[in-house]
Structure 1
Amino acid sequence: MRFALSEDQRLLQESVGRALGELAPLERVRAYAEGGDFADVWRGLAEMGLPGLLIPEEHGGLGLGLLEAAVAAEAMGAAVAPGPFLGSVLAPLALRGGTPEQQVRWLPRLASGEATACIAISEAVAGARDGAGVEASDGRLTGKALFVLDAQGADLLIVADRAGGLHLVEQPPAAGAMATIDATRRLSEVTFEGTPAEPLASNDGLERLRDAAWVMLAADTLGASQAMIDKAVAYAKERQQFGRVIGSFQAVKHMCAEMVAELEPARALVWYAAYAFDHAPQEATVMAAHAKAHLAEIGRFIARTSTEVHGGIGITDLLGLHYWFKRIGLNRQLYGGPERVREAAARAQGLVPA
């Protein structure tokens, strides 16, 4: 039995990483962070079929699983690439609870990249703040959703109400930008005032969506953390101090080795959490929670240590290391910080009352 990525999965990861290296180098990411557009890069990724990873072949997608999506998410995190990738993974999962008419209407457009989708589930899975939350009544939504990724310009919005139901909004209201630490992704506040919505009929739809989101964020952090290690090692091999490269100093060697030692076991954890989502549903919630919480802690350690290896230049805008640092920071809190996520894992195992 092989406990590793298949040849096809490795090729997918390499292809996405290579494409991002060409389409979205750091200069391109920096331009986006300063207010630029990323639509042309997303079109390039759409031509590779990236938005259709989880969409069935009969609807124009590739019909793959969450493990393949996690492999792609790892490459996205390594490149700190903007783009509505998370929505392209979660929306098709939500639409599995939709009607055949809803699926025919939306899945082919999402698979081709013609339409983009975003997800508003933060209050339902991570707790409401600032009075946020959405109520559903008679086919209409009222309330406010915060921390909605890639809402600006999205054609489709999947919304969770306070009771845990999922709804499809075809004409999302205008999204107001929210200030966050991560400039590589844009989060929004979306206000609903009697907004028409179609229900998505699924008993466990929100929990499945949450589990998939946790795995995707863990995979993104995995990729970003590996990139920070690679940058630290490369810098340690070229930066000289006292007539020697700093990588020859035992303290720097230990810092780099400890980062690798912490991250490498986490790779298998993320991959298995993604595998369990499709093939071991009885383990899916616990594994997704462990992956999200553990990568949040490991990612923070690596972000800090990599910056320390770089010394003072590590915090400068010129180097750009802060893009990875802040992306890992947002991933840590989005859809629940490690404490809340571990509590969900404990509930799923019956260790604390539901």
Structure 2
Amino acid sequence: MDFGLSQEQQMLRDAVARCLADTCPLEHVRECSERDNPVSDKVLDALQGLGIPGMMIPEEHGGLGMTLLDAALVAEQLAYAVAPVSFLASHVLAPLALSEAGSEDQKVRWLPKIASGEAHISVAISETVEARDGAGVTCRGGKLDGTALFALDFAGADAFLVADTTGRLHLVPANASGLEKIPLMTIDRTRSVGELRFAQVTAEPLADDSGFTAGRLRDAGRILLAADSLGAGQAMIEKAVDYSGQREQFGRLIGSFQAVKHMCAEMAAHHEPCRSLIWYAAYAYEAMPEDVSLAACQAKSHTGDVHRFVARTSTEVHGGMGFTDLVGLHYWFKRIGFDRQVLGGPELVRAEAAVLQGWIKAA
């Protein structure tokens, strides 16, 4: 039995990698990260040419009807290039929510536009994981009040998909009366994140009112963040190995020193098993939905810790150069830090996994 990628998946991964190599050099990432809106139209247009915005949208609505494993492969390559583009919310979570729980009118109205790149939807579901003081959105009489933090793919959104305190999802137009949109500065300047404040904002609920779809989005988001961390970690390992083969100290390449060899080998040994963990979780999303929540928790928590170690160790291999903007390691370092915390840090997610397995009771 073959547990590897299909030929089509390998072609998808390679096509995205080539596209980003041509359109997203590190200098372009630097330029974008210094702007108020870091999203690169050039890179987005190139990805549009590959059909990436429509990859999770059913074919009957103008998309490609692909799987979450396909999306995980794309996320990995985007992180490898630290591409400053919208993806997780606008091209994965929002299409999944509309496809699984949207009304027919909502599907017809939004999915073809997302697939063609005409529209994108930001997603704010962080409060379904853990709400900070003063955060949380309530719905009464079809109107939303409260605050939603960490809306993903925030910049330029045409609408927002927001979870209320019961887990129900609501669509809110970006120009809705009573909605205040505040850009947030995070450690990762390659992605756009914002805060939403609602004051009697009219909202359009999705058909599912049980909170089930919000849970599905949470699982998908955790898997994709783990895949993103995988791509960033791969880049940091490769950069450490390349640098150790060029930098000389005491008349020798530092890569010839046993300590440096061990550091690089240990990074690779911890990193590589994460790949199968993420692939399994992504495959389970469609094929084994009863297993996906636990698999998503395991993938998110484990890769979060592993790639924090990889980020730190890669920087140590570079010595003082690792802290400079010239090398640019900090872009991957900060991306890994963002991936680790969004939708639950390792400790919180492991606690969820323990509850799912019956080891502890839910708080």
Bin of the TM-score, shorter chain as denominator length: over 0.9
Question: How far apart are residue 82 of structure 1 and its match?
Answer: 1.6
**Is the 2:51–2:115 Cα contact (8 Å) retained in structure 1?**
yes
SS in 2 for 1:313: helix
Q: Which residue of 2 aligns with 1:161?
A: 164
Q: Which residue of 1 aligns with 2:5?
A: 5
Describe the superposition over 1:137-188 as per-residue Cα deviations: whole angstroms up to 9, x where unpaired: 1221111111112212101211000111111112354421212211111211
Amino acid at match of 2:195: E
SS in 2 for 1:282: coil
CA distance in 1, matches of 2:39, 2:357: 44
1:229 aligns with 2:237: yes
SS in 1 for 2:274: helix
Describe the superposition over 1:121-144 as per-residue Cα deviations: whole angstroms up to 9, x where unpaired: 01112x111301101112211111
**Is the 1:217–1:292 Cα contact (8 Å) retained in structure 2?**
yes
Question: How far apart are residue 190 of structure 1 and its match?
Answer: 1.0
Stretches of structure 2 that go unaligned for 5 or more consecutive residues are none
CA distance in 1, matches of 2:245, 2:337: 27
SS in 2 for 1:17: helix
**Is the 1:152–1:175 Cα contact (8 Å) retained in structure 2?**
no
Greater shift, 47-56 or 218-227, is seen at: 47-56
Q: Which residue of 2 aligns with 1:353?
A: 361
**Is the 2:87–2:153 Cα contact (8 Å) retained in structure 1?**
no
Describe the superposition over 1:262-311 as per-residue Cα deviations: whole angstroms up to 9, x where unpaired: 01111000000000011011110000000000000001000000000000
Listed as ranges, the matches of 1:65-104 within 5 Å are 65-87=67-89, 88-95=91-98, 96-104=100-108
CA distance in 1, matches of 2:289, 2:242: 40
**Is the 2:180–2:196 Cα contact (8 Å) retained in structure 1?**
yes
**Is the 2:39–2:191 Cα contact (8 Å) retained in structure 1?**
no
The TM-score normalised by the length of structure 2 is 0.95
Question: How far apart are residue 37 of structure 1 and its match?
Answer: 4.8
**Is the 1:21–1:79 Cα contact (8 Å) retained in structure 2?**
yes
Listed as ranges, the matches of 1:173-184 within 5 Å are 173-184=179-190
Equivalent of 1:140, from 143, 146, 149?
143
SS in 2 for 1:183: coil
Amino acid at match of 1:236: S
Q: Which residue of 2 aligns with 1:45?
A: 47
CA distance in 1, matches of 2:154, 2:199: 17
Q: Which residue of 2 aligns with 1:60?
A: 62
CA distance in 2, matches of 1:345, 1:34: 38
Q: Against the structure 1 CA distance between its residues 26 and 341, is the aligned structure 2 distance closer, same or farther, given a 3 Å change threshold?
A: same
CA distance in 2, matches of 1:213, 1:33: 23
**Is the 1:84–1:118 Cα contact (8 Å) retained in structure 2?**
no
Equivalent of 2:194, from 184, 188, 192?
188
The TM-score normalised by the length of structure 1 is 0.97
1:301 aligns with 2:272: no
Equivalent of 1:129, from 121, 128, 132?
132
CA distance in 1, matches of 2:40, 2:87: 12
CA distance in 2, matches of 1:39, 1:352: 47
1:14 aligns with 2:6: no
Describe the superposition over 1:246-268 as per-residue Cα deviations: whole angstroms up to 9, x where unpaired: 11111100000000000111100
Describe the superposition over 1:298-337 as per-residue Cα deviations: whole angstroms up to 9, x where unpaired: 0100000000000000011111100000000011100110
**Is the 2:315–2:322 Cα contact (8 Å) retained in structure 1?**
yes
Amino acid at match of 1:123: E
Greater shift, 17-26 or 282-291, is seen at: 17-26
Equivalent of 2:328, from 275, 295, 320?
320
SS in 1 for 2:201: strand
- Number of residue pairs matched? 353
CA distance in 1, matches of 2:265, 2:335: 23
Question: How far apart are residue 79 of structure 1 and its match?
Answer: 0.8
Greater shift, 142-151 or 231-240, is seen at: 142-151
Question: How far apart are residue 7 of structure 1 and its match?
Answer: 1.1
Q: Which residue of 1 aligns with 2:266?
A: 258
- Runs of 4+ in structure 1 off by over 3 angstroms are none
Greater shift, 89-98 or 193-202, is seen at: 193-202
Question: How far apart are residue 40 of structure 1 and its match?
Answer: 2.8
CA distance in 1, matches of 2:125, 2:132: 13
CA distance in 2, matches of 1:227, 1:333: 20
Describe the superposition over 1:76-131 as per-residue Cα deviations: whole angstroms up to 9, x where unpaired: 11111121100110001111201011000000001111111111001112x11130
Question: How far apart are residue 192 of structure 1 and its match?
Answer: 1.1
Greater shift, 169-178 or 72-81, is seen at: 169-178
Q: Against the structure 1 CA distance between its residues 318 and 130, is the aligned structure 2 distance closer, same or farther, given a 3 Å change threshold?
A: farther
SS in 2 for 1:108: helix
Question: How far apart are residue 347 of structure 1 and its match?
Answer: 1.6
**Is the 2:180–2:198 Cα contact (8 Å) retained in structure 1?**
no
CA distance in 2, matches of 1:260, 1:347: 31
Identity of aligned residues (%): 56
Stretches of structure 1 that go unaligned for 5 or more consecutive residues are none
SS in 2 for 1:238: coil
1:118 aligns with 2:122: yes
